[in-house]
Structure 1
Amino acid sequence: MAFSVTAILVAFYLLILIIFKKELHTVNRLLTCNTCLASILYCVVQFIDYIYLLIITWDTSDQSCRWRAYFSYMSLNAIIYSYVLQIISRFFFINLYEKYRWLVSLKSHIYLILFGWITILALPLPSLITKDVYFRPNELCWVLSDHVLHSYYINIAYYIIPILLIIIFSILIMKRIYSYRKTATIIRNKKKRDRDSEIFRNIIIPFGIYFLGGIPYMIDQFIDCPFCYSVGVVTVTFVVNLEKLFIIYLDRDIRNIIKNYFYQTQTPVIPITLNPTFTAR
């Protein structure tokens, strides 16, 4: 729960920073805000789940448990698919910008985010409309691995498909960036290539951190490993914190704004005393 609270605070700080700093108003930062909102949603849902687990123990309704499972899976999808949207956006900018410039507009990205959230809301519906989730004392509401078909659906829809999409788009982007290196002879092209490479790196590294945190959950879905399940509960919220800190560190503009703010607040102001007997000649 402590990791959830700190992740919410860091994500809120990033949101406020991007909203109130005009120099950060870019399409790329819009998708960063989307990832921050997904992280906040996930941590809030986790916080509520633990409140039900530890405090509201009298609620033993299966339907209530299914709703908690739905929101848990939905918030988990929100994070991983937010990275899919970021990598698709980079694909638009790097691979398709010259032919289809309308794809990099703000309007196109708003539609992209809306489509992403429709997908995120639809994917966990089986946990709500089936009876594979039911109340178990002292347990969180998840689909057990003995429901084989549902477990495979979770692993394919929530993990394998988004990861494959990220890998495929990453390969296409890297091929394009590599082609820049072979053909870029103008300084402007070199700067664009370096900027594209930097933004691509800023997406892949935080996603890699988040992916590593979700591995225990994937193992639990396949082999019903209680220890992996317990580890996964902690690691996912922990890596959400770590991933947000890496966003701050890797994004040069955000990092410089934070550094300048702390530098200004820590710089002492020393008054200058003028000699009253001094006369100008």
Structure 2
Amino acid sequence: MSTTASANSSLNTEDYRLVALISLIFVLIAVIISAFIFILVWQTKPRLHTINHLLMCNTALATVFYCVTMKVNFAYVLFGQWDTSDLSCRFRAYFAYSGIAGVIYSYLIQAISRFFFSVLSNKYRRLTSFKTHYILIICQWLVVFLVTSPSVLTNDIYFVPHVFCWVPLELVMHLAYTAFAYYILPVVVIVTIYTYIYVQIRKVRANATAASQNSQKRELELLHRIIILLGIYLTGGIPSLLFMVTSIRLIYMINLVSPSVVVCVEKICTILLDREMCQVIRAKVFRLTPVTPFATGLVLLTNVPTQRTVRHNV
């Protein structure tokens, strides 16, 4: 039995049920918020029909995909022990890894989009079009399903009762590939792109006009928002790294819950950090809130002292 399986086997069914319940709560919140983002962007024309919000919806789609795959894995661990097929286990791992990578790579194409707008837009206007970004999104998902294919093309993942379908810890090469392809590579590219954009903006800002400086300020604010959201999402992988090093049962339980919690927090912050979306939500809330008129008695009271004063003076 693999190291992962050995650690997982120490968890009983009640442990999994508790972890699954906690995870389910945060997953449902994340899915509801993601659906809310879709509906809000779809209904608010043309204010939220921007490329930024298109990419935000793509990240929300990746979040929903990830949440669904995680719940399917929990369901199989708790109720699907009749399915002992290794191939079925590999496909569950494949889609779960695709959900994880999908979110990370959605942030990567956001970084590429910012590079198009900040650096290349003056020379290549086509790169800032919706058509280009639809192609980016399609390419992102093709890359995601390609880089995660070793999960289903190899025999490294196999069925173990009451154990999640993941790459065993003793398969170091496959595990290293998973960490590199799903996390390290896209994050390094994202950081490189944003660093370059930041340096370029700071370099030309001194000689820029007032309008250009305002545009660059908005660009920096957008970069700051995306980096915060990416950082929140990446913190969900810390328990996984700790478990690889320690194989402690408690850390493994935290590892099962933390991605759901982090995804939920990331979705909440997605709305709170987006100024346009917050303004739209605030306007809709105020529009639905009934306005209670002042009572006429208040007006009469304000007029009484005036009348009395006039009579006294007379």
Q: TM-score, normalised by structure 1?
A: 0.92
Aligned to 2:262: 239
- Report the alpha carbon displacement of residue 265 of structure 1 after superposing the two structures with TM: 2.4
How many residue pairs match? The answer is 272
Aligned to 1:220: 243
Q: 1:216 touches 1:232 (CA, 8 Å); kept in 2? A: yes
- Report the alpha carbon displacement of residue 224 of structure 1 after superposing the two structures with TM: 4.5
Matched, 1:206 2:236: no
Q: 1:217 touches 1:229 (CA, 8 Å); kept in 2? A: yes
Aligned to 2:283: 260
Matched, 1:174 2:198: yes
Deviations 1:198-243 (A, max 9, x none): 2111211100100111122234346655443322221111111111
- Report the alpha carbon displacement of residue 174 of structure 1 after superposing the two structures with TM: 0.7
Aligned to 2:310: none
Aligned to 1:63: 87
Aligned to 2:44: 21
Deviations 1:79-119 (A, max 9, x none): 01000010110011011111222111111111111111100
Between the two structures, name the one with larger relative contact order (CA 8 Å, sep ≥ 6): 2
In 1: Cα distance, 2:248 partner to 2:184 partner: 19
- Structure 1 window deviating more from structure 2 (233-242 vs 36-45): it is 233-242
In 2: Cα distance, 1:157 partner to 1:113 partner: 18
Q: Secondary structure at the match of 1:178?
A: helix
Matched, 1:137 2:129: no
Deviations 1:92-149 (A, max 9, x none): 1011111222111111111111111100111111110111111111111100110111
- 1:172–1:31 Cα change, 3 Å: same
Q: 1:151 touches 1:222 (CA, 8 Å); kept in 2? A: no
In 2: Cα distance, 1:109 partner to 1:76 partner: 21
Q: 1:38 touches 1:82 (CA, 8 Å); kept in 2? A: yes
Structure 1 gaps, min length 5: 274-281
Aligned to 1:81: 105
- Report the alpha carbon displacement of residue 269 of structure 1 after superposing the two structures with TM: 4.2
Aligned to 1:187: 210
% identity of equivalent residues: 38
In 1: Cα distance, 2:275 partner to 2:120 partner: 25
- Specify which of 74, 96, 99 is matched with residue 120 of structure 2: 96
Q: Secondary structure at the match of 1:183?
A: coil
Q: 1:10 touches 1:244 (CA, 8 Å); kept in 2? A: yes
Cα RMSD (Å) of the superposition? 1.7
Matched, 1:112 2:143: no
* Ranges of 4+ aligned residues in structure 1 off by more than 6 Å: none
Q: Secondary structure at the match of 2:230?
A: helix
Q: For residue 279 of structure 2, what is the amino acid of its counterpart?
A: N
Q: Secondary structure at the match of 2:186?
A: helix
Aligned to 2:253: 230
In 1: Cα distance, 2:162 partner to 2:124 partner: 53
Q: TM-score, normalised by structure 2?
A: 0.83
Structure 2 gaps, min length 5: 1-23, 297-314
Q: For residue 255 of structure 2, what is the amino acid of its counterpart?
A: G
Matched, 1:163 2:212: no
- Structure 1 window deviating more from structure 2 (160-169 vs 213-222): it is 213-222
In 2: Cα distance, 1:179 partner to 1:87 partner: 19
Q: 1:132 touches 1:147 (CA, 8 Å); kept in 2? A: yes
Aligned to 1:279: none
In 2: Cα distance, 1:233 partner to 1:97 partner: 42
Aligned to 2:304: none
Aligned to 2:271: 248
In 1: Cα distance, 2:200 partner to 2:99 partner: 33
Aligned to 2:146: 122
Deviations 1:154-177 (A, max 9, x none): 011011101101110011011022
Q: 1:144 touches 1:221 (CA, 8 Å); kept in 2? A: no
In 1: Cα distance, 2:252 partner to 2:109 partner: 28
In 1: Cα distance, 2:76 partner to 2:217 partner: 48
Q: Secondary structure at the match of 2:123?
A: coil
In 1: Cα distance, 2:242 partner to 2:70 partner: 20
- Report the alpha carbon displacement of residue 252 of structure 1 after superposing the two structures with TM: 0.4
Q: For residue 169 of structure 2, what is the amino acid of its counterpart?
A: S
Q: 1:145 touches 1:224 (CA, 8 Å); kept in 2? A: no
- Structure 1 window deviating more from structure 2 (260-269 vs 188-197): it is 260-269
In 2: Cα distance, 1:144 partner to 1:2 partner: 28
